[in-house]
Structure 1
């Protein structure tokens, strides 16, 4: 399936992860610069609370801003993730001061949230910038059960 035809809202997370893994970067970039960008980002962020591992976030209170670049107008989409009381909530209207800000391009974001890239590798290659709480930066990836292309997510069939 071409990336332009992909709709993560109608695809299983593992299926979408496999699509991202097998799609050339140029095609993913085209999709994320097209009319589906907002719908794809909204859906992927909306799924984050369902893969949040509350048992790993005991006592954690955090606000994380995701800055996803490469918008067609040259801008950035900002989403806010709030971890509080063992829960994770997402908002496309950030209104809190972040303790951690993650900034990356749209294709790198797709690869990261589908398990096709590792946060540390993205940081080391300069493809993801972090600002804020270093301890949270290190812990953050372990707070989510990312549905990778190579294995089913916990709780999935």
Structure 2
């Protein structure tokens, strides 16, 4: 399936991961700066509670904000994840003070959440910026089952 026909709601996590892996940076950039950006982000982020591993989160209680850049006209989409009591909930309308803020470009975000880029590598290259609780920063990626491709 060509990326321009992407309907993330019709793909499972592994299919999406394989499609992202096979797609060039330019094509992903075009997708993530176009009219379907919000649908892709909403679908991918809505799946995060389903891949949340409460056994790995332990007693973590935290609010995490994702700031995903490279939108049309420089827009940044902000999503909020609340981890508490062994659960993970998502909001596209952040309302709480974050314990951790993750700022990343849209293509790198898509690659990271599909298992095609590693968060530590992105951080070392300055493409994933973190602000807040350093211990949570280190634990956060391990709280989710990311597809392996």
Q: Which runs of 5+ in 1 are unaligned?
A: 151-157
1 CA distance for matches of 2:14 and 2:104? Answer: 22
TM-score where L is the length of structure 2: 0.98
Cα deviation for residue 7 of structure 1 reads 1.2
Counterpart for residue 65 of structure 2: 65
Cα deviation for residue 4 of structure 1 reads 1.3
Confirm or deny that 1:101 pairs with 2:98: no
Cα RMSD of the aligned pairs, angstroms, is: 0.6
Partner-residue secondary structure (3-state), 1:83: strand
Confirm or deny that 1:26 pairs with 2:26: yes
Counterpart for residue 75 of structure 2: 75
Cα deviation for residue 55 of structure 1 reads 0.5
1 CA distance for matches of 2:31 and 2:65? Answer: 23
1 CA distance for matches of 2:60 and 2:3? Answer: 36
2 CA distance for matches of 1:75 and 1:32? Answer: 11
Cα deviation for residue 2 of structure 1 reads 1.5
Partner-residue secondary structure (3-state), 1:34: coil
1:103-135 CA distance string (max 9 Å, x none):
000000000000000000000001010000000
Q: Which runs of 5+ in 2 are unaligned?
A: none
Equivalences, count: 149
Cα deviation for residue 88 of structure 1 reads 0.2
| Structure 1 ranges of 4+ moved more than 4 A | none
Counterpart for residue 45 of structure 2: 45
Cα deviation for residue 57 of structure 1 reads 1.1
Equivalent residues in 2 for 1:137-148, closer than 5 Å: 137-148=137-148
